């Protein structure tokens, strides 16, 4: 069939295979075995073309063909990245005739004009123009760093974070993006160009990445740079109504929200005006659930919010069911998430087989403000009152039974997440202004809030994997990254625009920031440690002690330079406390030691000197919080947060697309062992779990476990070790294969005993998945049946053969696709070609590519290793 292509201007031209081949070929330069890659991509592109296809679709088809081969060889990732970059360059920079040098120059020289145009068009902040030496910054741009990206990271960045033009296409190249964010945070520096350059150097090398909202808003005319908001809903109609409005405004500014409903009076509680019974928190929560659903960006990204309730609330049993997929829709939250906020008093009662009482907060209004021993005392008094008949209503249930109900709901609906009020409040250094009533949407933030304050946190994450080279952690470089990141976050606060006065107030008074990490599991793999080994736990301890020390030191430096945060007086910091010191306070109130190693593992840090420095002033009320960073982890091409790797290969269902995620560390190790080709299909057939693949040596299988094959106690241990040093919390996903509720209760109990403050989503391993498509599947074989095989192959194979039916790898009848030609031509197996004419002209014209290249020269090696691990994340919160 004659194929024509529809060009951008609507005219048609005949399809030119040679042109496509050349462009694919350029993208394969410098990789191993480029000819077979070109052939493969060209062939598969051709398979999908149709008459009248547009030029853009054609670009897309080529990229897709490269992407679908990444599972065969990670080198295809590089090709896909280059093909995608080319489309961006052409759009933003214009034609460069495939000349790399021309591109590099144009990319640099056009930057000042790009900024100017952006300002004129109202996309960029006017301060982007007058404040900086644009020529110097253009000179700092390093387009070669675009090669650091993995395909999923680049695609995510372009979709999610890049400024868009009128056609909703990315208006900036990746390096312009990093420079835009860097500049957008350096406006108020004394030497803005110097600091913009420093921030750029860090982010463009993926050494740290800003939180999602910052990436979207920095340097633009709408600098809403915060990700996280925490609000308490008060028990009066006016405040509930205001809260609905606040939720809408915050969602519009792309923030993720934590909202506590504990104060709302219970169902049946009399209204003061006319004594009619209240309908309880559920209908009000439903309004908010509907509100965030209404706020959509481009129809895709909904508002995101998590409701928090303390489990002594009379309506808590109803709250447990909020996420159930069946039942009255008016009683269910389809969009919002839920989390339970539990006290040590409750956990103790679970452990000791005690009874748990639930009250109407209208009758027990002070409980919400109390924690530790003070809570226990008051709670006991209310119990006595209740038993004496002095309370209007109460309920009681064995504490263990309620704990079990929570975990059954968690297992079946992934909600409510378990978070603990007492470790959050007793270990806080920042709650001199009031109680912390909740965590945030992603369970890593611990900030107080009240009627006048909607807590705000500003986030960025260090990419630990970018600080490991040749099996060594570059501590000096890491220190520099931590210091710059803290400074950048502090700068952000004065530029940040917030839509609500209460949020503005809290932001300026506390200057709270949350520096997190990503790539922890990635680093363990590179260093050859198993996630569930004591070495990994000690490493976590060492790493977080270092990050904590430097971050605190830098905030104290900034306080000396710029002044302490307004609420500093009376804080834990002002008493010379650092996070590790607060463990004693928690243990004293709990009356029980935490079951976690409490020693130091990083040698040579001067904590006592730091305590004295901190006492003089801190620039920020909080410093560290490990956000889930699934999206920026994807951008940086590493595992998110401290989570283990979900699987060696898995797919990620994201707004920006569906990505296959293959562990590049493992692929490289298996390639070095020379067994990659032998086991790659098996890894997919096993859904990314290599435990049972005997061809892979045991020491490799020990290191590369999946989230489900790693002991859940190991996740908890890593979180507990990190939590020692972190002043806020860690967003900690849980992954379980067991569905035994007793076992699940033990796991969560142990998290509490180790002092973990919060947990996040619980992922259950599915017991049944859809039939696989691209790997060998034979259900009959699996059930030991052979059906008609006996009569089909009667004579030939009866004798010796095994029971398994023969696999048909061979090309069957003549109807099928003609293959072969290219296979012998390129020396690669498995290449199908439908039309001989299409066969690799590119390869012929550049025979030099057939020379094998030494591995050391391969461009793909420059990068910090790959792979993100995904997950759920508060999209806004990273």
**Contacts with another protein in 126-165 (CB under 8 A)?**
159
The interface with another protein within residues 44-73 (CB under 8 A) comprises 44, 47-53, 57, 60-61, 64, 67-69, 71
The interface with another protein within residues 227-256 (CB under 8 A) comprises 256
Residue 855: CB atoms within 10 A of its CB come to 12
Whole-angstrom distance, CA of residue 755 vs CA of residue 719: 9
Binding mask 584-623 for another protein (x = CB under 8 A): ----------------------------------------
- With beta carbons less than 8 A apart as the criterion, state whether 185 and 214 touch: yes
The residue among 71 and 590 lying less far from another protein, judged by its C-beta, is: 71
- With beta carbons less than 8 A apart as the criterion, state whether 425 and 758 touch: no
The residue among 273 and 802 lying less far from another protein, judged by its C-beta, is: 802
Paired tokens of 41 = 């991509």
Whole-angstrom distance, CA of residue 751 vs CA of residue 742: 15
The residue among 365 and 787 lying less far from another protein, judged by its C-beta, is: 787
- With beta carbons less than 8 A apart as the criterion, state whether 657 and 622 touch: no
How far lies 752's CA from each of 47, 595, 814, in Å? 55, 9, 65
The residue among 69 and 269 lying less far from another protein, judged by its C-beta, is: 69
Using CB atoms within 10 Å of the CB of residue 455, give its burial: 0 to 12 exposed, 13 to 18 middle, 19+ buried. Answer: buried
The interface with another protein within residues 333-352 (CB under 8 A) comprises 334, 337
Question: According to the binding rule CB under 8 A, does residue 327 interact with another protein?
Answer: no
The residue among 601 and 682 lying less far from another protein, judged by its C-beta, is: 682
Cis amide bond preceding 416, omega within 30 = yes
Closest by Cα among 619, 493, 504, 647 to 562: 619
The interface with another protein within residues 761-800 (CB under 8 A) comprises 761, 763-775, 777-781, 783, 785-794
Q: Which of 357, 659, 704, 752 binds another protein (CB under 8 A)?
A: 659
Whole-angstrom distance, CA of residue 199 vs CA of residue 180: 10
**DSSP count for the chain of H helices, then E strands:** 36, 21
The interface with another protein within residues 406-445 (CB under 8 A) comprises 408, 411-414
The residue among 68 and 279 lying less far from another protein, judged by its C-beta, is: 68
Report the nearest approach of another protein to the CB of residue 39 (Å). Answer: 15
Query: What contacts 818, CB < 8 A, 6 or more positions away?
Result: 833, 834
Closest by Cα among 247, 267, 467 to 335: 247
Binding mask 806-845 for another protein (x = CB under 8 A): xxx-xxxx-xxx--------------x-------------
Closest by Cα among 289, 305, 379 to 342: 379
Whole-angstrom distance, CA of residue 414 vs CA of residue 409: 7
How many residues contact another protein, by CB under 8 A? 111
The interface with another protein within residues 667-696 (CB under 8 A) comprises 684-685, 687-688
Report the nearest approach of another protein to the CB of residue 299 (Å). Answer: 3
The interface with another protein within residues 296-325 (CB under 8 A) comprises 296, 298-302, 304, 325
Binding mask 701-740 for another protein (x = CB under 8 A): --------------------------------------xx
Question: According to the binding rule CB under 8 A, does residue 654 interact with another protein?
Answer: yes
Question: According to the binding rule CB under 8 A, does residue 633 interact with another protein?
Answer: no
The interface with another protein within residues 371-410 (CB under 8 A) comprises 408
Report the nearest approach of another protein to the CB of residue 329 (Å). Answer: 8
Kind plus residue range of the DSSP H or E element containing 196: helix 192-204
The interface with another protein within residues 491-510 (CB under 8 A) comprises none
Report the nearest approach of another protein to the CB of residue 769 (Å). Answer: 7
What is the DSSP track for 612-660?
A: HHHHH--S-S--B-B---HHHHHHHTS--TTPPPS-SEEEEEETTEEEE
Report the nearest approach of another protein to the CB of residue 644 (Å). Answer: 12
The interface with another protein within residues 278-297 (CB under 8 A) comprises 293, 296
Residues annotated as catalytic are 440, 442, 444
Paired tokens of 138 = 């253009």
- With beta carbons less than 8 A apart as the criterion, state whether 498 and 253 touch: yes
Contact window for another protein (CB under 8 A) among 19-27, 243-251, 543-551, 741-749: 741-749
- With beta carbons less than 8 A apart as the criterion, state whether 112 and 141 touch: no
The residue among 11 and 773 lying less far from another protein, judged by its C-beta, is: 773
């Amino acid at each position: 069939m004659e194929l024509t292509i529809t060009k951008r201007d609507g005219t048609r031209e005949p399809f030119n295979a040679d042109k496509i081949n050349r462009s694919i070929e350029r993208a394969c330069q410098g990789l191993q075995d480029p000819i077979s890659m070109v052939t493969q991509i060209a062939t598969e592109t051709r398979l999908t073309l149709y008459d009248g296809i547009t030029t853009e679709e054609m670009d897309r088809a080529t990229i897709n063909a490269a992407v679908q081969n990444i599972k065969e060889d990670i080198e295809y990732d590089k090709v896909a990245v280059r093909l995608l970059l080319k489309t961006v360059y052409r759009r933003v920079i214009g034609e460069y005739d495939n000349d790399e040098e021309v591109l590099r120059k144009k990319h640099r020289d056009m930057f000042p004009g790009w900024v100017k145009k952006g300002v004129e068009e109202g996309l960029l902040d006017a301060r982007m123009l007058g404040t900086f030496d644009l020529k110097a910054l253009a000179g700092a741009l390093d387009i070669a760093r675009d090669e650091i990206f993995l395909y999923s990271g680049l695609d995510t960045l372009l979709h999610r974070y890049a400024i868009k033009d009128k056609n909703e296409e990315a208006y900036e190249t990746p390096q312009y993006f990093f420079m835009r964010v860097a500049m957008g945070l350096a406006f108020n520096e004394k030497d803005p160009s110097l600091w913009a350059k420093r921030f750029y150097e860090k982010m463009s090398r993926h050494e740290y990445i800003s939180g999602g909202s910052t990436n979207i808003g920095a340097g633009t005319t709408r600098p809403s740079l915060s990700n996280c908001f925490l609000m308490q809903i008060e028990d009066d109609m006016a405040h509930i109504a205001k809260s609905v409005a606040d939720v809408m405004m915050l969602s519009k500014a792309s923030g993720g929200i934590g909202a506590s409903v504990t104060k709302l009076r219970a169902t049946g509680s009399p209204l003061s005006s006319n004594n009619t019974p209240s309908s309880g928190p559920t209908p009000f929560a439903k309004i908010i659930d509907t509100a965030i659903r209404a706020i959509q960006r481009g129809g895709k990204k909904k508002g995101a919010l998590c409701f928090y309730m303390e489990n002594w609330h009379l309506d808590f049993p109803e709250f447990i069911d909020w996420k159930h997929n069946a039942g009255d829709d008016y009683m269910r939250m389809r969009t919002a998430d839920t989390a339970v906020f539990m006290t040590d008093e409750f956990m103790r009662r679970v452990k000791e087989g005690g009874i748990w009482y639930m009250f109407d907060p209208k009758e027990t209004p002070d409980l919400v403000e109390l924690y530790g021993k003070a809570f226990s005392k008051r709670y006991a008094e209310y119990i006595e009152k209740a038993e004496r008949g002095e309370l209007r209503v109460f309920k009681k249930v064995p504490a263990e039974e309620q704990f079990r109900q929570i975990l059954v709901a968690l297992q079946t609906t992934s909600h409510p997440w378990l978070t603990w009020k007492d470790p959050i409040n007793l270990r806080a250094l920042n709650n001199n202004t009031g109680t912390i009533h909740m965590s945030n949407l992603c369970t890593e933030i611990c900030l107080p809030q009240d009627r006048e304050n909607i807590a705000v946190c500003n986030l960025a994450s260090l990419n630990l994997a970018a600080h490991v080279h040749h099996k060594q952690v570059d501590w000096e470089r890491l220190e520099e990254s931590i210091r710059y990141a803290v400074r950048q976050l502090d700068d952000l606060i004065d530029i940040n625009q917030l839509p609500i006065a209460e949020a503005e107030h809290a932001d300026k008074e506390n200057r709270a920031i949350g520096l997190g990490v990503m790539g922890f599991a990635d680093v363990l793999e590179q260093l050859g440690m198993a996630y569930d080994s004591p070495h990994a736990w000690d490493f976590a301890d060492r790493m977080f002690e270092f990050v904590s020390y430097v971050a605190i030191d830098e905030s104290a430096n900034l306080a000396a330079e710029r002044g302490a945060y307004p609420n500093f007086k009376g804080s834990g910091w002002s008493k010379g406390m650092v996070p590790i010191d607060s463990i004693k306070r928690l243990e004293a109130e709990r009356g029980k030691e935490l079951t976690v190693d409490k020693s130091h593992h990083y040698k040579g840090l001067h904590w006592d000197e730091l305590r004295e420095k901190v006492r003089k002033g801190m620039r920020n009320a909080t410093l560290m919080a490990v956000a889930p960073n699934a999206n920026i982890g994807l951008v940086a091409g590493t595992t998110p947060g401290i989570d283990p790797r979900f699987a060696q290969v898995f797919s990620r269902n994201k707004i920006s697309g569906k990505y296959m995620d293959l562990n590049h560390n493992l692929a490289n190790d298996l390639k070095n062992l020379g067994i990659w080709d032998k086991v790659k299909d098996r890894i997919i057939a096993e859904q990314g779990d290599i435990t049972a693949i005997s061809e892979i040596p045991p020491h490799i299988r020990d290191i590369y476990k999946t989230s489900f094959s790693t002991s859940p106690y190991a996740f908890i241990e890593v979180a507990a070790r990190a939590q020692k040093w972190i002043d806020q919390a860690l967003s900690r996903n849980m992954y379980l294969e067991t569905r035994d509720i007793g076992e699940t209760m033990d796991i969560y109990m142990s998290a509490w005993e180790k002092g973990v403050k919060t947990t996040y989503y619980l992922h259950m391993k599915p017991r049944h998945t859809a039939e696989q498509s691209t790997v060998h599947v034979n259900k009959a074989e699996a059930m030991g049946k052979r059906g008609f095989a006996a009569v089909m192959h009667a004579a030939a194979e009866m004798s010796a053969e095994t029971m398994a039916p023969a696999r048909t790898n061979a090309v069957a009848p003549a109807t099928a696709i003609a293959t072969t030609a290219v296979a012998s031509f390129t020396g690669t197996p498995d290449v199908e070609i439908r039309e001989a004419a299409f066969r690799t002209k590119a390869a012929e014209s550049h025979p030099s590519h057939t020379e094998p290249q030494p591995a050391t020269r391969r461009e793909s090696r420059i990068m910090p290793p790959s792979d993100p691990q995904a997950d759920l994340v508060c999209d806004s919160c990273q």
